[in-house]
Structure 1
């Protein structure tokens, strides 16, 4: 490996490795190649891959090509120095390649294993000092590039191995050679087949990749993806917020960003100037007309009321001659200043004023020949009044027309000017009929123009030449400026080339939206403000504003009128090679500074800039601003992506979760799982997760709460969720939403504790193995209602059949070896099965000669199966074939092909079949399904000899022979009630055997006499609980009690004050008070009555009898009994637990205990009296002949004894 540039040959000797930087890794001879760790989506595992630099479009992909090399000096056993080169990519993954299944026999590229990444794989390349060296200062120098080879010595095997990465057509595999330490092996592939990879380092600066321009896909691949930035030297005592650090941001790529339309026209100013002057003209004219009207009225009123002297003109007779003359002069002045076109035109204000003035003069020049009053019917007066009215009408008409013309032209222009976006073919609507008429009003025209032709041209006047105004010139200006030719239409700054300095091309730029920020319900975007953050220095800051969509899709936008599009354009670039972190530069634009003291308005000229922090007022505060690239301010802060901050999760090591990706791209299959078709190193998406499938679950394996970093691993496969422990913060605790340092948003939900140490896999315990047989069923997910059974086909193959009667009967032939899953709290086992078909015992087989077919053989095989749950349906399993340890997700599987043949399929093949083991019980014990009930228990071959209770003991008596005369068959009736029957994994059904104490109280929880083993009772001088060394059986008072759902028995122990409470369920039915009926395979309908001592659960004992007394012995001593239902009711025996009289047969005598003062009669089997006496002692011994004798004690039932 050689550090250096793009040369395809080894670098020159002496090249020093810069350990502060990342490098690309390329193949020798291929400058455009890049070595990466590939993360495929097709079910393959992470593996070494080769890509082309020219194909890399996203920064994430670019980062994947960057590696940090480390070199470490080593010393071998012989004292020789060598070096290990390791590579770790920017994601923290080491280039460590799996050795699994790599064999020396795989000498062709076709047979070689792909270079899968494994944490326990080959993680270093070994080289000698001819490749690299490290001096005393730690400086690493490369001389040449090595092949990607690693030598490995196995001391246990005494062998030396060499592993090498080989490449062909861009694919990378692993080959291995083996030898000895003295005969060092070397991987030497056929050059025509493939070649060993030879690598060298490429500087990240060697190809235009620095700085790297981040795209919208890099920053905000999803519409909801945001990013945050941090500044090393942020604002301080600031007047303006730094929007880049105060907000979450989102890059938005628009197809087009247009400049807002601008106008070079003076229309608004022209309109205002003309309107101002015409308003003044009308105001002065109307005031003058009103004054004249008043003075003329005064004169006429005088002439009509007072008369005019003879031979006198009307105008000379009125008293207000001077005032009238002044008013007329003012009117004439207003006319000449404002309403005095250069040529007399019909239909003008000037024309109507002149006409009225002529009529007024004619009236004033009227001479009265005789004194008299002005008649109201004067023709001249009428003519004047008509002309005066015409003047007022004309003025009003022109004024109205003038204001309407202003309004119309302004409206037409406003329709054009208020649009921020104007296409090149848009123009004011003066081409309409109305528009044409309006436009014509502002230019000279034929007679009758009520606007332009009414006003002064600006020519000198005899009245007031100084104040004469050319109103027609003002109207002409409007006619000129009201035109589309004076507008600049919108241009796309992303692609259009500017024709002048109105904008700068912003190719590959984008807008930056402020997340959750809106202005008038519109998304707010960052833009450079044209206001100064420091007026004196003319430094700019930022603000939020909106962009307006001009298309339905919202992909084309324009800022508001007066806002410059370049101010909304940004581009982020990074320096990717520094190991310390990606340093961000924010490129944008800024206005060119105006003259000092001038503020920005229209006509901004942009120039390229970047975001900086300005230090102002002698370091008293800092503000965010923009500057050109050569400004020193660009060096005073470092901008990086902000590390996520927020509340830390309360995850604990051992917690188990489902993980759901909230990326839009993962919406169809959001849950992160592992499956048996993708191997044990690949995480894939799934539409659902399951409480009973650990491969869909993740367990917390590391939780650093101080740092907020966590690692989770799959519960089934040895796969971490993150490449390394990753920082996670809480985004929405209520909805279990979290964000990772990689900006992934995840829903992490706790998995219910199923309290199953074999979760996800079929477990056959020892009891199941002994008592269950199975049928292996198959269902297809396409038609799950159709059930098939595995059976034997032709040529001993296994096939599927719908006929349940033909199904193979399976029995687990071993207990299964438990293997821990990745979660050490869980384990699973594989099982071998033997099958029974007729008289044959068969085994599964799939050898090399069998192809894919699953076969049956009479020869026992080592093949095993494991049943893995595929969902929460308890009857649907994958059937895994010969699973290697911890290889549950990379095992061959059993399936059914289209012909109904049962086959073994490849590891990564998806099957549509689910399997199940349908079980049936092979009973070893009697299962009484209708208990509680009454029964009699009799000896096999002697149905008249039955079990009953006599005093504290259980005995065998014969009906009608050995009981007292008053006894009936009811004395042999016993109660049978369940003690431990319908319990999980229980095939030893345990029962209570009872006699009632009170025949009116025989309910399950009434006090009764329970048959018990006296194994834990101690004999004394009066009562012996053993017979010839065997434990006796008897009856004691007890009653059942409940602890939750578990029955317990409270026993009144003989000679004991307190009760002994036995938890039957806790002891799983193994107590001195419970009995099981073991089935005798050779004698149908007969059973051994079994008792297992509570103190020694492995020691089974069985009911036998000696001299009519029930005792417990071994299996060989056991008696066989029949359990017979009866409709008879049991008799009471309220004195069972209180009588202490005991009869013990001895050699040549009978010992009687506890009967002092009572009469005793002993007879032989013929009825002859042997002894008849009253006992004077509580422990008396009476001589008796050998054989069977009957002992009758006063007040007691007669008992039979065998004297030796």
Structure 2
């Protein structure tokens, strides 16, 4: 909307009968064609058989679009359209046409369109139209070359407009067929004809202030005495009351008994009484504005003198038939110089003022109106009020203005004495004196236009209007041209959620009154409270609808808690026949989400107002047989189905904000608005009189709306070892635990594999057997992921390990050599960072970590070492955990004493030997994805997991999942299982949770017992702390733990490469690439491959 559009036109926009708007509109066919479409102007759209496109509001508050003959258009504003456009190199500009009477764009709803033209329902999602190929045309836009409006909603499908008689219709077609379709609506933009205002129209501001008795004018440019003018602007400084000349006084119509002989031949000209509190109630003897019999001092240009104006001329009263009448003005005055005509040009938005006639000074004195005077030269052509800008002082005067030339001062109609007021542009909630809120409730959303708005009683304990955009209104002034007009401007209020529900209103407030009132949206005179919506709410683009965090969707399940006044523990559940109800069951749903889509109304004139967005959700439940979705059966009941094609999709629209007795705080409850591709939107609801409380598909206009809280499923899916059952200590709940894993059915325990049939000389496996078969049963269980990821609350991940050696950190030592400390670059530093300081060393843990060998299945001899039949085995690998890194030890480092391991040396070796993949960045891998070195403990019965009884907290030990499944709670995954007595992982492609959790062949079910360090599954007492280690590198071998011993290095041909006695426990000896033999004194010779 053009916010510079004046009050005069803005007042035409207010609904209701208006005297000025009841005159027939002149056809624009004779107007001069415009050559450029300007966004700051308002045009009439002309075509057909001398017809104009108009938009009106019917008795039901719905908007109609018609194509009326010009002489049948009785409301000027209804025929005016502002035209905005967006430049588009494809097919020309995209035009938007907004009607000035209603504030609504010419729009249609794609969902309503068929190939058969039908009446337009204003307020749809198609409002951008292709029309002319450009916004300029040198020969002008004319009726003879008017063009059709069309809108492409896909590359080959188009919406178009047609008309039959006076009715405008819309349809859709294939783009290739459009050219052959007849009867399309073709339009050309024209300037609207000028409009002369009567006295009543001036005083009542075109009927928008029915009780108005006067008016004020403002002007652009503004004249300020002492700044840019000597005289100022006599028309804007005064409050004025207009009077028509008439034979009899009629104050209702502002007719004043005139003693002028030409009273009935000067229609359109009015007197301008000065309203200053002095004699205002005596118009026949008060002061009036006139063209003066004096020139502007010091202004004489090209032998021309310029007339000024006066506001001190007093009327002369007489009496006829017992009635006062205005006989004349002070002696010597020409009464016609007090008569002014106000002409409004709607397209240009300009108000022009003309005087009927005035006198200029003659060369010699003659008699005029019984007086001898030189002011006898009567002017009737040079009678337009203009701004003389020939000097530094700008003054109002009179002159001739050629036809088609715009005047250099623009007047705007404003207030006189009035109760009109306005609000700042913003978002508001609106209440009546009953406390009801103006809103578009769910049951009205299928209505169109203003008929959807209703005064709604709100239960403050169960609803919060600040959370519901359907209860909020975007209010924008219709006139922001001047400071004065802003204060009293009418406003267009548009529902924040439903852009098609809009109304132009004039707020009013009587002097000293507390409340506002209006004539348009409430019983006239009834009180209104208009309350601003907080900035934080205006800026919330997700207001009003459920919008879950993306990171939660893959990992969280939700229960739908039914809102009921007598029970807060009812959820959507499933009956035996798959029908959904809200009685005793409690289903946990995953949610699929669509892309965000814009909805609702926004305005560039409201600071901080965000475009609202919402998403569509498809609830579903995971089962062993596949995902199950909500659908509707033939009896309109909601039920579950495995057929995704029948899945119902929903907007979850907030309907309540309520604190149930069992909760500490209020929570939102949502209506499930079914938006599946069907003929019409519906909602999910229950009938409480139905003993089974079955959920049914209901029409939106059903007054009662069922609502549900979307509650994260509080039944934990995985076990977290942080309670007394696991030996947790308060304040250190997630500290490392020592636990035993006991199989539920046979009572066997996880342990170091001791069955020789399943052992290997190189690989250390995990096994399962009776307690009396083990050297130890306890494992360290250490947290890896218990916070910081989307699903950490649902799926904590742990290290499981044995043979733990903790190497304590070594504190650094400051430099002791004087005070002048420097770093390695020679720059000054402190003692702790000096080159002579001893750096500190971080502590770390070395242990044998339980891992899945799934990442080793392509290695040499994998079938023998890492598989048992078709199943992946589980074992131990030695690792070093420091900070956020886990080093899988190899290349000889696995044989070194823990205290002598150096991560810098390990990194260098791994880089040289392309083994950097054995350094795991735990921070980078801190996700909900499964890992071969971490384990999660999946409850077989989450609903019972809150029990304090260990027996009820049974779990599966989970490793990986089927590739396409979820990271959290996959329906198919790899769990620990026993295959003919050998501990392996189940096949993630075929092993289902539904089977595994009930004791099927897919997995072992475990409980825990608190363990001890004296009962670890393996121990480290027999590990040699001085074992000689040979580590191959790039062009070298490193020999550890052999200080003082003789070392001989030979190549594969037996030629000696090195023969020396080494002096350190970390000696490096150069060696050729290939296989070398290293013989250390007192040790067996070993082979190494040098890179």
TM-score, normalisation: structure 2: 0.48
The structure with more helix, counted as a fraction of residues:
1
Larger of the two Rg values belongs to structure? 1
**TM-score normalised according to structure 1 size:** 0.44
